[in-house]
Homo-oligomer: A and B are copies of this chain.
Amino acid sequence: MSVRERKERERAHRHQLIVSTARELAESDGWDAVTTRRLADRIEYSQPVLYSHFRGKKEILGAVALEGFAELTSALRAAASKGPAGRSTVAALARAYTGFATDNPALYDAMFSLDNGLPFAEESTPAPLQEAFAVLRDPLAEHAHPDEPGLFVETFWAALHGLVTLTRAGRLPAERLPDRLTLLVDRFVSH
């Protein structure tokens, strides 16, 4: 039965090719440019092939987003592991988060701004998602009011997300983003 295994392998490979191509296309030309036709063209198959791998465009978006959560997790982990939990680590986390967003704008959109169909804040939330949140939570928890670490992290995260989206949309001048980050960390970290 080796032929079936080979087919499955090829199929998995093509699955990944679709996700990667969608991501590249989005990162270079924006998500509006990621149409089923263009995507099919790039992978050198016809549109219906996409639908044999994914229910529709939204599910492709979700697959790309999932990749993003894994990468965000490792980016945050790298920032958090540098030093002891404290002000500098929180600042490093904040910088890592916004850095990730500005380095991968389309990826960030797939994760947080567009409708990717992934369940959040539920028991069925995929592992990479919960992990990313945990990496942000743990170093921050000690600065929170003892019984509400979740609330604290959520609010801090929301502030970061707001800064990211408003900056990228041109609503806030980008030059002073580092200063806003410093201000935010100062407000959230002191006792």
**Chain A interface, >50% SS class:** helix
Q: What is the bound-complex CA distance between A114 and B155, given in angstroms?
A: 23
Give the interface centre of A113, A151, A159, A188 by most chain B CB atoms within 10 Å.
A159
Q: What is the bound-complex CA distance between A89 and B58, given in angstroms?
A: 42
Copies per assembly:
2
- Flag whether A82 is at the interface (Cβ < 8 A): no
Q: What is the bound-complex CA distance between A114 and B76, given in angstroms?
A: 29
For A158, the closest partner residue in chain B by CB is: B162
- Flag whether A180 is at the interface (Cβ < 8 A): yes
Q: Number of contact residues on A: which range applies?
A: 20 to 34
Contact check: which of B121, B163, B171, B187 meets A120 at CB < 8 Å? Answer: B171
Measured between C-beta atoms, what is the minimum distance from A145 to chain B in Å?
A: 8
Contact check: which of B121, B172, B187 meets A188 at CB < 8 Å? Answer: B187
Interface residues of A (CB under 8 A from B): 112-113, 115, 120-121, 145, 148, 151-152, 154-155, 157-163, 165-166, 169-173, 176, 179-180, 183-184, 187-188
